[in-house]
Structure 1
Amino acid sequence: MTKAFGATSTTDEVLAGVDLHGTRVLVTGTSAGLGVETARVLAAHGADVVGAARDLAKAERATAAVREAARAGGGSFELVALDLASLSSVRACADRLQADARRFNLVIANAGVMAPPFGRTADGFETQFGTNHLGHFVLVNRIARLIGDGGRLVNLSSAGHRFADVDLDDPNFEQTTYDPWVAYGRSKTANSLFAVAFDRRHRARGVRATAVHPGGIHTELGRHMSSGEMEALIASIDAAHAAAGLPPFALKSIPQGAATTVWAACVADAEAIGGRYCEDCHMAEVQDGEGIRGGVRPYALDVERAEALWRKSEELVGEAF
C-alpha cells in the first residue's frame, strides 16, 4: 500500500527508500528553486539527471548541492542549455538530446515565469504563454520518443490556473488588455491541458502525463511581484479559503513545494494520475468556486479543450506532432 503524504511532506520524505539507480530524468529550470531541489533529491536517490537551464553559468553555481548529492547517492548530473522563450534554443536543445539518443524515464517540465510586465518571446508570443507552455510543448514533443515505455511526463501547473482558461482566439493579448495574472492563469491552464492531451497520445505504450500544483513557495518565480502585491495576493487567497471553510494560506518550503513533483514522478500510481492534476501529494478534486484555493477547475482537464489547445499550439509554432 502506498504511504500517504500531504501538504507538509518533503521531497526526502516522499522518496525515502526509493531506489532510482538506472532512472534517467530531464528537469527544466534547474538554476533556482524547485528545479534545483527536484534535481537534488532525484540524484541523491541514484537517478541520472539532465538539468536544462537558460543561464548555464548561474545553473552551475546553483547546482553544486545537486552534484554533491549525485556523488553521494550514486547518481549523476549534467546541464544542457535551454531558453524556453526562444524556439530556436528549444529546438537546438531537443536536437542535442536526440543526437545523444539515450532514453528518459521521466521528463519534468518545471521551468516557468510568473506575472511579468507585458513582453514577447523571441518568436513574438506573449511571454508567459510562450515560455511556460509553447516552449515546453515543442521541447517535449520533439523528444517524446526518447521517453521510454512506462515513462512519465510531469508538467508544473499551479492553482493560478483558476485565474483564467486558455484563450485560443487571442493567446498573445493582441485584442485584449494585458493582465499579468490572467496571462499566468492561461499559461498554467495550458500546462494542465498539455498533460491531458499528451497522456492520451502516449498512454498506449505506458507513458503517462500529469500536471501538478506545487503550492505557494517563496522562490525566484515571484521576482516580478512587489511585497505589496504578494500581500494582496495572500489576502485574496485567505478570503477564498475562509469562504470555503478552509484554514489560512501557508507558504511551503522549497522541499515541500517540490514534493508533489517527485511524488507524481516516482511514487504515485501511473494509471491513477495519468491525465490528472495533483496537489499536496494527492490527486486534486475537480472544483469550481472563486479565488485561488485547492482543487482543479473543470476546464483545465477538459479533453476537447486540450485537443483544441494542441491544434492551436501546432499552428502557432509551425510544427505538427
Structure 2
Amino acid sequence: MTSNFGATSTTDEVLAGIDLKGRRVLVTGTSAGLGIETARALAAHGADVVGAARDLAKAEAATGVVRDAAKTAGGRFSLIELDLASLASVRAAADRLVADGTPFDIVIANAGVMAPPFGHTADGFETQFGTNHLGHFLFVNRIAGLIRERLVNLSSAGHRFSDVDLDDPNFEHTPYDPWVGYGRSKTANILLAVEFDRRHKDRGVRAAAVHPGGIRTELGRHMTEEAMEALVVSLNESNAAAGLPPFEFKSIPQGAATSVWAAVRAEAEAVGGRYCEDCHVASITQGEGLRDGVRTYALDPDRAKALWALSEEMVGERF
C-alpha cells in the first residue's frame, strides 16, 4: 500500500498519476467544503462523478469548479437531490439511481451535520444520528447492488466523544449534549463501514471510514467563534498532556485527501473494515481527548451488528 502521504497531503497529491476515466463515483454533500473538493479532485482525473445534495440550487451554484474539472479531463458531473434528514427523500434518490441501473465503482458518504441544537429529522430521529447515520445507512443499503468496489464513510475524531447508545439513540431519556450526539453519529459511521464491509467483501466490495481532520467548513456553522476557540484550547491541552504538537486546521484539499486516498489509492484489503486518518490506517488507542487513533468500540464487530439491526428497525427496512 502506498504510504508516502500524511496529514498535509492534498487531494491532487494523492491522485497524482492516477487515471480515473471510465470510473463512476457518487459523493454525498456536494454543495460545500469537502464534498465539492472531493468531487473536483476525482473529476479532474477523469472520473464520472454524481454529486448528491439537499439543496440543488445551492449545489448547482457551488459546483462550477467541478464541472470545469470534468470538462477539462473528459469526465462528466451531474447532481441528484438527496436530503439525508428525510427518509422519503433518501428513498426517492435511491430509487432513481436503482431504476437507472448504472453502477458506481465508489460511493463516498461525505455529507453530515455537526453539533446543532437539539432537534429532529423529518422522521423524528435526533438530528445528528438521523442525518449522519440513518440517512446514509438507508441510502447506501438501497443502492448497495450498484456499488462495485468501495464505500467510504466520513467519520471523525469526534467519535471519541461517545460510543453509540443502542438503548436511547434519540436522547429520549438522557440529556442532550451536542458533542455527545455528534460522537454517537460519528461512531455509527465507523460501525456502518465495519458491518457493510463484512457483508459485501465476498463480492469484492470493501468499506472504510475516514477522519478528514479539523477543517473550517460549513460543518461548523452551529458553532460560535468563541466555541471554536474553546475547542481548540481543549485540543491543545490534550495534545500537550500527551506530548503531541499543537492542533492545526487543515486546508480543504488536505481534508479531502484521506477520502480520495481510501477510495482510490489505498489497497482495498488494507482499508476494508478500518478507520483511516491522515492518509493511513489509524491505530487503536484508548487515550483521553481527540488525539490520533480510533477507539475499540468503534471497530467492535458485535457492536456493528447490533447497530445494523437497530438501524433496520428504525428505518423500517431489512437488508
TM-score by length of 2: 0.99
Identity among equivalent pairs (%):
76
SS of 1:289's partner is coil
Shift of 1:3: 4.9
Q: Which of 161, 164, 174 is the aligned partner of 2:162?
A: 164
Does the 8 Å contact 2:150/2:206 carry over to 1?
Answer: yes
- Tell me the distance in 2 between the aligned counterparts of 1:168 and 1:2: 37
Shift of 1:75: 1.1
Shift of 1:74: 1.1
Q: Which of 174, 177, 182 is the aligned partner of 1:176?
A: 174
Corresponding residue for 1:4? 4
Considering only aligned residues, what root-mean-square deviation do their CA atoms show, in Å?
0.6
* Structure 1 letter corresponding to 2:196: F
Does the 8 Å contact 2:161/2:180 carry over to 1?
Answer: yes
- Tell me the distance in 2 between the aligned counterparts of 1:186 and 1:2: 31
SS of 1:80's partner is strand
Structure 2: unaligned runs, 5 residues or longer:
none
- Tell me the distance in 2 between the aligned counterparts of 1:53 and 1:86: 12
Corresponding residue for 1:71? 71
Corresponding residue for 2:139? 139
Corresponding residue for 1:127? 127
- Tell me the distance in 1 between the aligned counterparts of 2:235 and 2:286: 15
Deviation digits for residues 142-174 of structure 1 (CA, Å, limit 9, x no counterpart): 0000012xx000000000000000000000000
Does the 8 Å contact 2:163/2:298 carry over to 1?
Answer: yes
- Tell me the distance in 1 between the aligned counterparts of 2:193 and 2:100: 25
- Tell me the distance in 2 between the aligned counterparts of 1:136 and 1:66: 23
Q: Following TM superposition, where does structure 1 have runs of at least 4 consecutive aligned residues deviating by more than 6 angstroms?
A: none
Corresponding residue for 1:189? 187
- Tell me the distance in 1 between the aligned counterparts of 2:6 and 2:186: 22
- Tell me the distance in 1 between the aligned counterparts of 2:227 and 2:79: 34
Q: Which of 289, 310, 314 is the aligned partner of 1:312?
A: 310
- Tell me the distance in 2 between the aligned counterparts of 1:68 and 1:168: 44
How many residues are aligned here? 319
Matches within 5 A, 1:283-302: 283-302=281-300
Deviation digits for residues 195-219 of structure 1 (CA, Å, limit 9, x no counterpart): 0000000000110000000000000
Corresponding residue for 2:17? 17
Whether 1:62 and 2:95 are equivalent positions in the alignment is no
- Tell me the distance in 2 between the aligned counterparts of 1:42 and 1:181: 32
Structure 1: unaligned runs, 5 residues or longer:
none
- Tell me the distance in 1 between the aligned counterparts of 2:187 and 2:177: 15
- Tell me the distance in 2 between the aligned counterparts of 1:245 and 1:265: 32
